[in-house]
Structure 1
């Protein structure tokens, strides 16, 4: 059974994107991909003018709320007591957004109810994943 959690958040754009100071973004979690979360930005907030979706580890988001985390394309760190900073690095540039930490906590709490941390492996469908890989290989 699929459980999907979506939460709208207001992201305050800090750098490297068109002049949109505050944008609605969506945090997304699907139990079928239990290790990952996605954050989607609407077309007006992107350099390309199309909706952009970043996928990264749920653990990165959770850990980054209390201390700086990440060394690759996505980095997360706390900003004061009530905001979390997410940095998205791409060849075209870097986007830095601030979101309310309470919104992120609420989202992570909901994902934790769907799939408690440490039990993600129990929600993988390895037979289906293998079948998809084999189909794509042909």
Structure 2
């Protein structure tokens, strides 16, 4: 569990308990579950590579954008910013950059970068998903 901050339109942060998850059988994606008031949950899934790139530089377009930054009076606390957009609107969130980086490193120990498709027949999967392309 990781606490992220949801930034309200006023700029005021609200703590949002968050669960980062990774599944080695779906190695290209990461999932973030935001726990809202009561028993509510909001799930977002996006590319693991996008999250990794966002630790170092602004990355992503459209629904998910990720970039590093700093907050605090002297700008020493490094954060990871996430902008998530849907039909309902856009949410801007911040997380401790170091905590996300450590979690992401553990995913790369499970499935190293560049090895995500090992053992998968991508042509067969595409043919199954897109009939008539074989």
Q: Which runs of 4+ in 1 moved over 6 A?
A: none
Q: C-alpha displacement at 1:42, in angstroms?
A: 1.2
Q: Are residue 29 (structure 1) and residue 25 (structure 2) matched?
A: no
Q: Are residue 83 (structure 1) and residue 79 (structure 2) matched?
A: yes
Equivalent in the alignment of 2:52: 62
- TM-score, normalised to structure 2, is 0.79
Consecutive unaligned residues in structure 1, runs of 5 or more: 1-7, 134-138
Consecutive unaligned residues in structure 2, runs of 5 or more: 71-76, 130-134
Instruction: Give me the CA root mean square deviation.
Output: 2.7
Equivalent in the alignment of 1:4: none
Change (3 A) 1:123 1:78: farther
Which stretch has the larger CA shift, 89-98 or 19-28? 19-28
Q: Secondary structure at the match of 1:61?
A: helix
Q: Secondary structure at the match of 1:120?
A: coil
The total of aligned residue pairs comes to: 122
Aligned equivalent of 2:62, options 60, 64, 72: 72
- TM-score, normalised to structure 1, is 0.77
Q: Are residue 103 (structure 1) and residue 99 (structure 2) matched?
A: yes
Higher relative contact order (CA 8 A, sep 6+): 1
